[in-house]
Amino acid sequence: MNSLPSISIVTPSLNQRHFIEATINSVLHQAYPKLEHIVIDGGSTDGTQELLPTYGEALRWIIEPGSGQSAAINRGWQLASGEVLAWLNSDDLYTPGALRKVGEYFQLHPEVDIVYGECDMIDSRGGVLKAYPTRPFDFVELVRSTINYIPQPAAFMRRGVIENAGWLDERLSFVMDFDYWLRLGLQHKIEYFPEKLAALRLHATAKSVAQLGGFAVELVQMYRKFFSRDDLPSAILAVKREALANIYHRAADCAFWAGNLAAARDYLRRSYRYRSWPPRLLWFWVYSGRVGLFLAGRLFGNPYLPGKAES
């Protein structure tokens, strides 16, 4: 018990009173012996600031109006004292016993710097929508596929990782976690732990759902920045063309479902500079204009919108 690492969890918050109580309780009910939870609130006006003091000394919190999500997480990590660090957004949850599993994993695997586990995707009421598409870690495949299969709420890292790799990129609002995994994969040992550790909440006001256009822009910026590095290994450089084709195609998909067909067409044209024909089905929907958007919505539904929970 005494050799378990201390864990610090940072929660960035802004007007999530409807969800944050469940988030805080999911941390504090872990009964982990060496736990610190820090909430960085960006100036909530929905009752969150009145809720936080009710937890007394069990919760550390500060109010920093105007700070963005990445800046709030960095600020929390600067204040944190734990040997293991993570962040849990104010609408997400830890599963019971998750932190003990993480602490024991790090205790038994001193060579591992970052560990991530399984994660459910839940709706606004907490009903399970589906499992997050997690898979064992393969850095080249992560870069090539452009699919972020590391669920952020279920990811934890040793303090030395941040001391070595630096902070989250505060210019990013949507893909700061994916950007961080790309950076960390170059220098640190990341491992998959096949245990369910967290739940990621999808709801209509979640940034990744409500602001798909901004998400698309940051996806492209992130990958262009990554491939501008001069320290990339040959195995990563070998998949550069395919990775750029995939990221532009993903950006086109996001822009399409956001209703920005001009941006979607531009991303598709950029994608096909790097890939051979024939084009994928998305090409047909995008170049069919509003009719294509309507038909795709009726036939398949917007894949980025939360669905109904499983019964």
Decide if 67 contacts 40 (C-beta within 8 A): yes
Any idea of the CA torsion for 267, 268, 274, 280, to the nearest 10 degrees?
Answer: 150
The ranges of the chain annotated as CATH 3.90.550.10 are 7-208
List, for residues 260-279, the tens digit of each pLDDT value: 999 999 999 999 999 876 67
- Joined tokens for residue 189: 């040992």
Q: What is the pLDDT of residue 302?
A: 79
Average pLDDT over residues 1-6: 83
Three state DSSP letters for 35-48: EEEEEEECCCCCCH
Question: pLDDT value at position 303?
Answer: 77
* CATH 1.20.1560.10 describes domain 7-208: no
Inform me whether the pLDDT recorded for 148 exceeds 50: yes
pLDDT attached to residue 66: 81
Which tokens is 49 given?
A: 């600031």
- Which residues does residue 128 pair with via DSSP β-bridges, in sequence order? 122
More confident residue, 305 or 254: 254
Structure tokens at 258: 């956001």
Query: Over 50: is that where the pLDDT of 281 sits?
Result: yes
The pLDDT of residue 299 is 82
Instruction: Assess whether pLDDT exceeds 50 at residue 53.
Output: yes
Checking if the pLDDT of 19 tops 70, the result is yes
pLDDT digits (tens, 9 = 90+) for 60-114: 999 999 879 999 999 999 999 999 999 999 999 999 999 999 999 999 999 999 9
Res. 253: pLDDT tops 60: yes
Write the pLDDT tens digit of every residue in 101-119. Answer: 999 999 999 999 999 999 9
Q: How confident is the model at residue 158 (pLDDT cuts 50, 70, 90)?
A: very high
pLDDT in tens, 200-239: 998 666 555 458 889 999 999 999 999 999 999 999 999 9
pLDDT score of 309 more than 60: no
pLDDT, mean over the chain: 92
Residue 129 pLDDT exceeds 80: yes
- Please spell the DSSP secondary structure of the chain, one letter per residue: -TTSPPEEEEEEESS-HHHHHHHHHHHHTT--TTEEEEEEE----SSHHHHGGGGGGG-EEEE-TT--HHHHHHHHHHH---SEEEE--TT-EEPTTHHHHHHHHHHH-TT-SEEEEEEEEE-TTS-EEEE-------HHHHHHH----S-GGGEEEEHHHHHHH----TT-SSSHHHHHHHHHHTTS-EEEEEEEEEEEE--TTSHHHHTHHHHHHHHHHHHHHHTT-S---HHHHTTHHHHHHHHHHHHHHHHHHTT-HHHHHHHHHHHTTTSPSSPPHHHHHHHTHHHHHHHHHHHH--TTS--PPP-
- 308 has pLDDT over 50: no
The pLDDT, as a whole number, for residue 67 is 78
